[in-house]
Amino acid sequence: MPSYKGSCACGAVKIEAEIDDPTSVFICHCNACKIRHGPFNSVIVIPEDKYKIVEGKDNLSVWAYTADSGNPLPKSFCKTCGVALFATAVPLPGMIIATAPTFTEAWNSGELRPSAQADVAQKLSWIDTLAELKAM
Protein backbone atom coordinates (compact mmCIF):
# COMPACT_ATOMS: atom_id res chain seq x y z
CA MET A 1 0.00 0.00 0.00
CA PRO A 2 1.54 3.34 -1.04
CA SER A 3 2.41 5.87 1.65
CA TYR A 4 1.85 9.58 1.04
CA LYS A 5 3.34 12.51 2.94
CA GLY A 6 1.84 15.94 3.28
CA SER A 7 1.39 18.99 5.45
CA CYS A 8 -0.49 22.19 6.02
CA ALA A 9 0.64 25.26 4.05
CA CYS A 10 3.16 26.47 6.63
CA GLY A 11 4.56 22.99 7.38
CA ALA A 12 3.82 23.14 11.11
CA VAL A 13 1.63 20.02 10.83
CA LYS A 14 3.03 17.08 8.89
CA ILE A 15 0.94 14.07 7.94
CA GLU A 16 1.39 10.65 6.39
CA ALA A 17 -1.19 8.20 5.13
CA GLU A 18 -1.40 4.80 3.53
CA ILE A 19 -3.88 5.02 0.69
CA ASP A 20 -5.09 1.89 -1.11
CA ASP A 21 -6.45 3.63 -4.17
CA PRO A 22 -4.99 7.03 -5.10
CA THR A 23 -7.93 7.62 -7.46
CA SER A 24 -10.46 7.35 -4.63
CA VAL A 25 -10.51 11.11 -4.12
CA PHE A 26 -13.92 12.68 -4.53
CA ILE A 27 -15.09 16.21 -5.10
CA CYS A 28 -17.72 17.48 -2.67
CA HIS A 29 -20.07 20.23 -3.82
CA CYS A 30 -22.03 20.66 -0.58
CA ASN A 31 -22.61 24.17 0.68
CA ALA A 32 -20.46 23.63 3.79
CA CYS A 33 -17.47 22.64 1.62
CA LYS A 34 -18.00 25.57 -0.71
CA ILE A 35 -17.95 28.05 2.18
CA ARG A 36 -14.74 26.60 3.61
CA HIS A 37 -12.81 25.55 0.50
CA GLY A 38 -14.06 27.47 -2.54
CA PRO A 39 -16.31 26.11 -5.29
CA PHE A 40 -15.80 22.52 -4.07
CA ASN A 41 -13.60 20.43 -1.79
CA SER A 42 -11.35 17.54 -2.81
CA VAL A 43 -11.28 14.84 -0.13
CA ILE A 44 -10.22 11.26 0.38
CA VAL A 45 -11.62 8.92 3.05
CA ILE A 46 -8.88 7.03 4.87
CA PRO A 47 -9.13 4.56 7.79
CA GLU A 48 -8.02 6.29 11.02
CA ASP A 49 -5.25 3.75 11.58
CA LYS A 50 -3.77 4.58 8.14
CA TYR A 51 -3.63 8.39 8.75
CA LYS A 52 -0.88 9.70 11.02
CA ILE A 53 0.03 13.12 12.33
CA VAL A 54 3.80 12.88 12.14
CA GLU A 55 4.59 16.32 13.52
CA GLY A 56 2.70 19.28 14.95
CA LYS A 57 -0.23 17.61 16.68
CA ASP A 58 -0.13 20.41 19.28
CA ASN A 59 -0.58 22.92 16.45
CA LEU A 60 -3.98 21.48 15.48
CA SER A 61 -7.24 23.08 16.45
CA VAL A 62 -10.68 21.55 16.02
CA TRP A 63 -13.84 23.35 15.04
CA ALA A 64 -17.09 21.41 14.74
CA TYR A 65 -19.89 22.68 12.56
CA THR A 66 -23.17 21.19 11.42
CA ALA A 67 -22.84 19.51 8.04
CA ASP A 68 -25.61 19.63 5.45
CA SER A 69 -26.68 16.21 6.77
CA GLY A 70 -27.43 17.77 10.16
CA ASN A 71 -24.59 15.84 11.82
CA PRO A 72 -21.70 17.54 13.59
CA LEU A 73 -18.50 17.58 11.53
CA PRO A 74 -15.36 18.26 13.57
CA LYS A 75 -12.68 19.67 11.27
CA SER A 76 -9.01 19.81 12.32
CA PHE A 77 -6.90 22.64 11.02
CA CYS A 78 -3.48 24.23 11.57
CA LYS A 79 -3.53 27.01 14.18
CA THR A 80 -0.82 28.90 12.30
CA CYS A 81 -1.91 28.90 8.63
CA GLY A 82 -5.55 27.83 8.99
CA VAL A 83 -5.39 24.96 6.48
CA ALA A 84 -8.02 22.28 7.11
CA LEU A 85 -6.26 18.91 7.17
CA PHE A 86 -9.04 16.46 8.00
CA ALA A 87 -12.49 15.92 9.45
CA THR A 88 -14.31 13.09 11.17
CA ALA A 89 -17.93 12.39 10.34
CA VAL A 90 -20.61 10.66 12.41
CA PRO A 91 -21.75 8.52 9.43
CA LEU A 92 -18.16 7.28 8.88
CA PRO A 93 -16.90 5.96 12.23
CA GLY A 94 -13.23 4.98 12.21
CA MET A 95 -12.53 7.01 9.09
CA ILE A 96 -10.73 10.29 8.41
CA ILE A 97 -11.94 12.62 5.68
CA ALA A 98 -8.62 14.09 4.57
CA THR A 99 -8.26 17.20 2.44
CA ALA A 100 -6.56 15.66 -0.62
CA PRO A 101 -4.44 18.69 -1.61
CA THR A 102 -2.63 18.53 1.75
CA PHE A 103 -0.74 15.63 0.13
CA THR A 104 0.79 18.31 -2.10
CA GLU A 105 3.30 16.29 -4.13
CA ALA A 106 0.87 13.47 -4.96
CA TRP A 107 -1.94 15.97 -5.63
CA ASN A 108 0.11 18.21 -7.93
CA SER A 109 1.55 15.25 -9.85
CA GLY A 110 -1.93 13.85 -10.46
CA GLU A 111 -1.18 10.63 -8.59
CA LEU A 112 -4.04 11.49 -6.22
CA ARG A 113 -6.99 12.44 -8.38
CA PRO A 114 -10.77 12.58 -8.18
CA SER A 115 -12.89 9.76 -9.51
CA ALA A 116 -16.31 10.71 -8.11
CA GLN A 117 -18.44 13.66 -7.00
CA ALA A 118 -20.76 14.11 -4.04
CA ASP A 119 -23.67 16.51 -3.54
CA VAL A 120 -23.79 17.16 -7.29
CA ALA A 121 -27.23 18.76 -6.92
CA GLN A 122 -25.46 21.65 -5.14
CA LYS A 123 -22.71 22.00 -7.76
CA LEU A 124 -22.22 25.53 -9.04
CA SER A 125 -23.57 25.86 -12.57
CA TRP A 126 -20.31 27.18 -14.00
CA ILE A 127 -18.09 24.30 -12.80
CA ASP A 128 -18.55 22.36 -16.05
CA THR A 129 -17.21 25.29 -18.09
CA LEU A 130 -13.85 25.47 -16.29
CA ALA A 131 -12.07 23.41 -18.95
CA GLU A 132 -13.13 25.98 -21.54
CA LEU A 133 -11.66 28.98 -19.68
CA LYS A 134 -8.57 30.64 -21.09
CA ALA A 135 -5.40 30.15 -19.05
CA MET A 136 -3.84 33.34 -17.68
Beta-carbon contacts of 16 under 8 Å, excluding residues fewer than 6 positions away, are 3, 4, 5, 6, 51, 52, 54
Say yes or no to pLDDT of 107 above 90.
yes
Say yes or no to pLDDT of 135 above 80.
no
> What is the β-pairing status of strands 41-47 and 95-99?
antiparallel
| Average pLDDT over all residues of the chain | 90
Q: Answer for the pair 69, 118: CB distance below 8 angstroms, yes or no.
A: no
**pLDDT tens-digit map of 38-88:** 899 999 999 999 999 999 999 999 998 887 778 888 999 999 999 999 999
CATH code of 3-120, in short, is: 2.170.150.70
Average pLDDT of span 23-52? 90
Centre a 10 Å sphere on the Cβ of residue 8 and count the other Cβ atoms it contains.
Answer: 24
pLDDT of residue 36: 83
Please tell me the distance from the alpha carbon of residue 80 to that of residue 83, in angstroms, as a whole number: 8
Domain boundaries, the chain: 3-120
